[in-house]
Copies of this chain bind each other. A is one copy, B any other.
Amino acid sequence: MSAAIQPATEAFDQWAAAQLDTVEQALSAWVPEQAPAGLGQVMRYGVLDGGKRLRALLVLAAAEAVAPGVASVRVAALRAACAVELIHAYSLVHDDMPCMDNDVLRRGKPTVHVQYGEAMAMLAGDAMQALAFEVLTPESGPDAQALPPALQARLCARLARASGYVGMAGGQAIDLTSIGKPLDEATLRDMHRRKTGALLQASVLMGAECGLPPAGAWAGLSEYGAAIGLAFQVVDDILDVTHSAQSLGKTAGKDADAGKPTYVSVLGMDGARRQARELHVQAHAALERTGLPHHETLAWLADRVVQRDN
């Protein structure tokens, strides 16, 4: 049995476009134009105009699935969405640097260190990580009312763990030390569960936190997040082989050229495609197990992760 990939409906596309506008405006308000010595401009260059915003959409869709139409939940989820995007953006800025992937092109533009120099790129990334936690901890105003202290603490806890040594940074360390080495599938999966999967899964769970889901929904939400987190990377590896730099907006064939193990190199192209399909089925099954009646948008996002061509 395989979950059919539905054509994206117009309603979902409109939903996503509206969310992207909102997220972009919120990020533009929170990433400071006036930070000292041009640092704000460098941060804005690295954060704004940020492509798909899959992580933000996952946060917002999870919050909506758990507590549809609740204004204060929506306010909290928007902050969580922006915090996750800030962490993702900082990781790209640091990853692109010469001592890491040495990439010069990202989303069709020169990477941050190419544009502003390595020192400013490193600093801007560092400041973006701190800003993520600042966005999660509003101290006054209506947003502070929508994010009671207990929610702020839980969101900070999830984000710190997903982006630190257990999660994203740990996965990047495995990635760094595995260049040119043969990896088995289990190690490759462990690397990607941490490197990209942890933050994608945290996006789902942070969105859910904002809406206080019934206790029975957590396991399904967590499995859904893990499945699409891994599916995302499998599809990334497939696209890295099959697509040109132009359609990806970044350098293509880079991972294979760098001797990095990928799902395609470990499982072959057919194996990687089968893996993506299986994870897609798992994501849909996990959503059913949440018992949440309004999970259509999360289901559509799972389809989009597998269908995407960039």
Contacts and interface: CB of A to CB of B under 8 A. Distances in A.
Contacts of A172: 123
Contacts of A99: 117-119, 122
A161 B173 contact: no
A199 to B, nearest CB: 11
A131 B160 contact: yes
Nearest to A156: B156
Contacts of A91: 126
Q: How often does this chain occur in the complex, in copies?
A: 2
A119 B122 CA distance: 12
A50 interface: no
A124 B172 CA distance: 10
Given A39-B169, A127-B169, A170-B37, A176 B120 contact: yes
B153 A137 contact: yes
A68 interface: no
A263 interface: no
A137 B159 CA distance: 11
Nearest to A135: B160
A123 to B, nearest CB: 6
B165 A43 contact: yes
B134 A173 contact: no
B174 A36 contact: yes
A197 interface: no
Given A129-B126, A165-B127, A39 B173 contact: yes
Interface residues of A, number: 58
A149 to B, nearest CB: 4
Nearest to A31: B165
A177 interface: yes
A45 interface: no
Interface in A154-205: 154, 156-157, 159-161, 163-166, 169-174, 176-178, 190, 194
Given A35-B173, A39-B173, A124-B169, 12 more contacts: A36-B165, A36-B190, A37-B173, A99-B122, A127-B164, A130-B161, A131-B160, A131-B165, A134-B164, A137-B157, A150-B153, A152-B153
Interface of A: 32, 35-40, 43, 90-91, 94, 97, 99-100, 117-120, 122-127, 129-134, 136-137, 139, 149-150, 152-154, 156-157, 159-161, 163-166, 169-174, 176-178, 190, 194
A-B pairs with lowest CB-CB distance, top 10: A130-B164, A99-B118, A137-B157, A127-B169, A133-B160, A39-B173, A152-B153, A149-B150, A37-B173, A35-B165
21 contacts: A36-B165, A36-B171, A36-B194, A37-B178, A39-B169, A40-B165, A43-B165, A94-B126, A100-B122, A123-B169, A123-B172, A124-B169, A125-B126, A129-B129, A129-B130, A130-B169, A133-B160, A139-B157, A149-B152, A150-B153, A153-B156
